[in-house]
Amino acid sequence: MKNYQDIEAKELSEKYAKVKDDFVWVDVRTDEEYDEGHIPGSIHIPHDQMEKRYHELTPYQGKKLMLICRSGRRSVLACNVLAEKGFSELYNMKGGMLEWTGPIE
């Protein structure tokens, strides 16, 4: 059973101004990838550190978490880790930053 919902990166990009405050944006890419450009205001926790650092997201439990990576694969892994830790409002940005056309910083 899937513990998250997929939302296409292209769709999110087009609606970003309207939906940016609906989600807590969590970027799970490497430090290098994140430093090259990320969605404004996103929280950075690399997916391979999620098991150890998921508690940093505890203040956002019950809010919609949008997990982001380069293509949408690592963000699924992060969604699964967070689901195991009791998070329920999980979303995967399908297509990842490869398909993101919205703002970056």
By annotation, the residues acting in catalysis are 69
Give the separation between CA 91 and CA 67, rounded to whole angstroms: 6
The Cα diameter of the chain in Å comes to 35
Half-sphere exposure of 51 (CA within 13 A, CB side): 2
